[in-house]
Amino acid sequence: MKSAWLLSVALAAATFSTSARSQGLDYGRIEITTDQIAPNLYMLSGSAGLDPAHEDAAGGRIGVLAGPDGILMVDAQYAELADKVLAAIRRISSAPIRFLVNTHIHRDHTGGNAKFAKMGATIFAREELREGMGNAARPSDPAAIPVVTYGMGEPVRFHMNGEIVDLIPVRAAHTGGDTMIRFENANAIMIGDYYRNFGYPFIDINNGGSLKGMLEALDATMKVARADTRLVPGHGTIIKRADLIPYRDMIFAIQEKVQQMIAQGKTQQDVLAAHVTSPYDSTVPGGLLPAAGAGTSADRFITEVYQELKGGGK
């Protein structure tokens, strides 16, 4: 099953990546597909092979909890796809979209915020995410900015459609304002982008992410999840708790290697040239594909690890 997915992703990437990259993102060609993962819980994803930043599926995955109490959405995709996302939601339910939760600030997760807010959805997110939107990532439409915010305290809890939804804050990991969203009865957790299985880990330092926080977030997820809980990343395939262990081990091993090279006085260029991810390259699909602003996703990851270790020695 997993290898079949990897193969299909590899084929999609091989077939489309060149044209997608040379033409930029062609939103018109992206379709939204819907997977029902529990009686009232659905996951919406964009087409494969059309988004150079996410060859596996365009944009970020959306969660939709639907039922008589209305709709709760998790994340909102690129703004350019909002109409297609809405159409996909309307194929599930005609109920009002009451709540929208953002796992983190990136525009492939928050771009559609304004559209759904104007339809009446109240946006929930971490205070750090809202603050971030006041800075570099300021949205063009103020309606995109979260209305209800929370910090690192107790989870925010929704009771609707027979489900209990917990917004569980995560320490600065992929960004400074990450949340995992647990659906207790469906036994599923949406984990945003602090875990990924397409490309190497992405620690967005410019948006407050950290290596230390990413490791803490993985530990926190292992505590919250049961062995059979489905963990739904923003990109890539749905996993189980056991899949987090080799991922965390890989981050630890690379951290240790980079730390050793820093202790030997190596520069960032030296560390990048040493290809310290090479033991993992064959098992990380998309790991050597280009990543925005930093060579490959392996180069981006190593740069982030180097800068955090060099900066704070954490």
Which residue's CB is nearer to Zn ion, number 55 or number 193?
A: 193
Which residue's CB is nearer to Zn ion, number 209 or number 285?
A: 209
Give the nearest distance from C-beta 187 to Zn ion in angstroms.
24
Give the nearest distance from C-beta 113 to Zn ion in angstroms.
14
Give the nearest distance from C-beta 268 to Zn ion in angstroms.
23
Which residue's CB is nearer to Zn ion, number 180 or number 262?
A: 180
Give the nearest distance from C-beta 207 to Zn ion in angstroms.
9
Widest distance between CA atoms in the chain: 61
Long-range contacts (CB closer than 8 Å, 24 or more residues apart) made by 226-232: 226/187, 228/187, 229/187, 229/188, 229/189, 230/37, 230/187, 230/188, 230/189, 231/188, 231/189, 231/191, 231/195, 232/37, 232/43, 232/61, 232/63, 232/188, 232/189, 232/190, 232/191
Which residue's CB is nearer to Zn ion, number 49 or number 233?
A: 233
In this structure, the strands spanning 71-74 and 62-65 are antiparallel
Q: Which residues bind Zn ion (CB under 5 A)?
A: 106, 193
Q: In what order do the strands lie in the sheet with 163-169?
A: 156-160, 163-169, 179-183, 188-192, 230-233
Which residue's CB is nearer to Zn ion, number 57 or number 262?
A: 57
Give the nearest distance from C-beta 185 to Zn ion in angstroms.
27
Task: Give 268's contacts (C-beta < 8 A, 6+ positions apart).
Answer: 303, 306, 307, 310
Which residue's CB is nearer to Zn ion, number 16 or number 78?
A: 78
Q: 65 and 138 in contact (C-beta within 8 Å)? A: no
Give the nearest distance from C-beta 217 to Zn ion in angstroms.
13
